[in-house]
A and B are shown apart, each in its own frame.
Chain A
């Protein structure tokens, strides 16, 4: 049994890689590629008549495999299926860090899941509130309700858009420019930031089109996403490279955080960097940059 530390609601999640929970060869060591979060999938990847088998596999994988620092999230089946309650029981009993709610359309959906999660936490003697939640928005209704979904529970750490189903609803296809989903992405981002949770972009399914993948990831970063869902380990590195801060940003962030800490230690409220006054409001951002830099191997100091 591998005890997992208490999940962190806000942590680095540049990359979340989907893995079929039913495939023993895949899930045994998916973490070796350096992905931030693994998304063990009970939904689309698992055939309807293997949902039961996948749960048994998932339970033992969660209990046996040492995933180290990699976050382990489980995508459960939709609330319109007969599977989701048992999915939640196995996730909580196995000690998954978080649950991804598929096809989420309202705050009520989040609350429904939260209630089942809490019941499972009590049933299995897990600390109430330990299991985090995120929601996948897969329909126009989900996008329109993004704000209430994001704000529905203190367990919510993020929202993700799911391109496949969303494009079907919108009668669009993936475009190189991203114009097909730019509005939805933007609305979801605004909602997430308004509540103060994270926001993730959809998967890019054409594994041979690395150029298209890289362009989309660059756009994700420019739009303000925290990370991206992935379907293959070879997509991990480009995302980490694109989401990495520049050296100048890292230097600036280090100076700011250092100056702030020194000033705070001396009880000084106002401080300067390179002769310029700095607003305290910039400090969380600078700390975030340093954390990111550390994860990218660009910063080895001890400020974060």
Chain B
């Protein structure tokens, strides 16, 4: 059945009331019955919840084959915990039939690919899917299709009971002996624990894994002891070098800077650019550099940013400290400047993924966002964006907060070079739709700017400000004239991943790629 972005969704996925994507805000006003976890009572006072090993913790919470384990990506590519827990569960306890529900999976989790190939891990639910896991899932090795959700879609699915987490494992830079966790104060600091917060409330069991045990009470706690069953101390939960970079540098690449400047120009041309505006940007080259140029316009007009959200890094913290932004609310930190600032710098707060982006709660932060600046692997002439599959059809990306911020914000700007090597970023049809075109407003490339025809108001803003813009079709034609028209990818029937829209409808599927043999 074709959905609102023209993607054919196989009928076998449309059971138990599951629908295809119908357009933005389709679920607005509907009611949701929240699921509740079944948790163990710890009535008798406990001095400590420390157990000796991950295996012991798994035994204590009754880990069994067929269970769903949840993990969170605040340790980013430095994470050791997913691999440690899977190794304990599969190799030491002999469990199988396992589903991993993670907020994101990357190269750090390459060892999990082996468990997928062996058939021990049979389900993957995640936002990000990169590295070897992406390759084996793309090759059709996972028993069930992977489910890909946005950062807001995941807490929605958990709260709705579509994902039932048997055991949530929280990697904690610091914890006390009963499981009050924080993202700072230890040796593997990551700042915000926003992605773990919802899971801790909705999982049947919660295990905390830390490499820095601190005195009780570890306050203010991001994950609270009242939700935690067991605490395990290990030598190291991650590689600090890969958890947070030393400092996110603003790109010096002239192409990035040129695009970033145009992003700032577009922002400054809209009526939303006024005292107290709100903003989110990614950490990609041109997205981050937009901060720099935006600041110039803010100074010129004598206005300040009200608040910023998102994954946060140094340049935004810097603006907070200079008083150019009122508050920074943060679900994840990308560099040490941000890690060292959260809950320390006045005005820099932590939030959960649900508070950030969940479309089914009573109003997430993204809903009040004026601007978001985002990257793309591909964008097509319908303004549909792909941030999940490479142009070769292999899973190697992450919707993350992309679809959530795009849908919630008043002005969503995609910034990307027109071509990357021989890949046309602006194309006729994206491989996979991860953010529907009705949520995307402006495209800024190194070859020109295009505005979504759904937004005549923004077209007028650009015209009034004298900012040249062209149709997205002309950008796509330019791209193809540079790199040649790509051949269509060839697919097998097998669905390897289902791409859920943030509201729970089905936006797209990824099938097994048929590699070209010459």
Chain A interface residues (CB < 8 Å from chain B):
25, 28-29, 32-33, 66, 232-234
* Selected contact of A234 from candidates B252, B421, B481, B482, CB within 8 Å: B252
Q: In the complex the two chains form, is B482's CB within 8 Å of A32's CB?
A: no
Q: In the complex the two chains form, is B257's CB within 8 Å of A32's CB?
A: no
Say yes or no: A234-B446 contact (C-beta < 8 A), given A28-B482, A29-B482: no
What residues on B are CB-neighbors of A233 within 8 Å? 254-255, 258
B481 nearest CB neighbor, chain A only:
A66
Q: In the complex the two chains form, is B258's CB within 8 Å of A33's CB?
A: yes
B447 contacts A by Cβ under 8 Å: yes
What residues on B are CB-neighbors of A234 within 8 Å? 252, 254, 257
What residues on B are CB-neighbors of A28 within 8 Å? 482
Q: Can you report 6 A-B residue pairs in the complex whose CB atoms are below 8 A from each other?
A: A28-B482, A32-B255, A32-B258, A32-B446, A233-B258, A234-B257
Closest CB of chain B to A104's CB: distance in Å?
30
Q: Shortest 9 CB-CB distances between A and B: which pairs?
A: A233-B254, A234-B254, A32-B446, A33-B254, A32-B447, A33-B258, A232-B254, A234-B257, A28-B482
Judged by DSSP, the binding face of B is helix
Judged by DSSP, the binding face of A is helix
Closest CB of chain A to B410's CB: distance in Å?
29
Closest CB of chain A to B176's CB: distance in Å?
47
Give A28 to B252 CA distance when docked, in angstroms.
20
Give A29 to B481 CA distance when docked, in angstroms.
12
- Contact size class for B? 10 to 19
What residues on A are CB-neighbors of B257 within 8 Å? 234
Give A231 to B454 CA distance when docked, in angstroms.
42
Chain B interface residues (CB < 8 Å from chain A):
252, 254-255, 257-258, 421, 446-447, 481-482
Closest CB of chain B to A61's CB: distance in Å?
12
B446 nearest CB neighbor, chain A only:
A32
Give A178 to B257 CA distance when docked, in angstroms.
30
Closest CB of chain B to A58's CB: distance in Å?
18
Closest CB of chain B to A69's CB: distance in Å?
15
Q: Indicate the member of A25, A32, A33, A66 with the most B CB atoms within 10 Å.
A: A32
Give A32 to B257 CA distance when docked, in angstroms.
12
Give A262 to B230 CA distance when docked, in angstroms.
91
Closest CB of chain B to A222's CB: distance in Å?
26
What residues on B are CB-neighbors of A32 within 8 Å? 255, 258, 446-447
What residues on B are CB-neighbors of A29 within 8 Å? 446-447, 482
What residues on A are CB-neighbors of B446 within 8 Å? 29, 32
What residues on A are CB-neighbors of B447 within 8 Å? 29, 32
Q: Indicate the member of B254, B255, B447 with the most A CB atoms within 10 Å.
A: B254
Give A66 to B258 CA distance when docked, in angstroms.
20
12 more A-B contacts (CB under 8 A) besides A32-B258, A33-B258?
A: A25-B421, A28-B482, A29-B446, A29-B447, A29-B482, A32-B447, A33-B254, A232-B254, A233-B254, A234-B252, A234-B254, A234-B257
Give A25 to B258 CA distance when docked, in angstroms.
17
Give A104 to B481 CA distance when docked, in angstroms.
39
Give A233 to B258 CA distance when docked, in angstroms.
10
Give A66 to B482 CA distance when docked, in angstroms.
9
Give A28 to B481 CA distance when docked, in angstroms.
12
Give A33 to B262 CA distance when docked, in angstroms.
13
What residues on A are CB-neighbors of B254 within 8 Å? 33, 232-234
Closest CB of chain B to A99's CB: distance in Å?
26
What residues on A are CB-neighbors of B482 within 8 Å? 28-29
Closest CB of chain A to B475's CB: distance in Å?
13
Give A106 to B438 CA distance when docked, in angstroms.
65
Give A217 to B297 CA distance when docked, in angstroms.
26
Closest CB of chain A to B421's CB: distance in Å?
8
Closest CB of chain B to A249's CB: distance in Å?
22
Give A25 to B417 CA distance when docked, in angstroms.
13
A32 nearest CB neighbor, chain B only:
B446
Give A25 to B420 CA distance when docked, in angstroms.
10
Give A272 to B213 CA distance when docked, in angstroms.
87
Give A28 to B446 CA distance when docked, in angstroms.
13
A233 nearest CB neighbor, chain B only:
B254
Give A234 to B253 CA distance when docked, in angstroms.
8
Closest CB of chain A to B450's CB: distance in Å?
16
Closest CB of chain B to A28's CB: distance in Å?
7
Give A32 to B482 CA distance when docked, in angstroms.
13
Q: Indicate the member of B255, B257, B258, B447 with the most A CB atoms within 10 Å.
A: B258
Give A29 to B258 CA distance when docked, in angstroms.
14
Give A29 to B254 CA distance when docked, in angstroms.
13
Give A25 to B481 CA distance when docked, in angstroms.
16
B254 nearest CB neighbor, chain A only:
A233
Closest CB of chain B to A64's CB: distance in Å?
10
What residues on A are CB-neighbors of B481 within 8 Å? 66
What residues on A are CB-neighbors of B421 within 8 Å? 25
Give A33 to B254 CA distance when docked, in angstroms.
8
What residues on B are CB-neighbors of A232 within 8 Å? 254
Give A32 to B258 CA distance when docked, in angstroms.
9
